[in-house]
Amino acid sequence: MLPKALIAASLKPIMLSLLAERDMYGYEITQRVQTLSEGKIRWAASKLYPVLHDLENRGLVASFWQPSESGPARKYYRLTVKGQGALEKTKQDWLDLNQILVKLWGPDLSLAPSM
C-alpha cells in the first residue's frame, strides 16, 4: 500500500485519466485502479464517490444511469470537455513534479515521460 497522503493527492489525476479511457461506473473504477496499481492503491467507496461527485459539481465529469443485466441500473461517469482540459493541466503539473524529482535523484531513476 502507498502512503495515504500520496493516494489522496493522486486520486483526481488517476480518476480523470481513467475516465479519459472510457466511461466507467464507480465500482469498475476501484477494480481498475486496484489491478493497475497491483494492489498498491485501494479506494474505499466512501472516499471515491464524494470525489466523483465533487468533480461532477465542478463540471469536470458528467454522469448518467444505464440499465444493467446483472441487477439494478449503474451510474456511469464520463469526462467532459472541461474535464479534458483539467486533465491536461494536471498531467503537466505531475510531469513537472516528476522532472524535479528526477533532477534530484539522478537520471537512473527517470520515469521517462511517455509524451
* Residues at the interface with another protein (CB under 8 A): 25-28, 31, 44-47, 49-50, 53-54, 56-58, 70-75
3-class DSSP state of 42: coil
> Min. distance of Cβ 68 from another protein in angstroms?
8
| H or E element at residue 63 | strand 61-66
Helices 4-21 and 81-105 cross at an angle (nearest 10°) of 130
Closest to another protein by CB, 49 vs 94, is: 49
Q: How far is the CB of 2 from another protein (least distance, A)?
A: 18
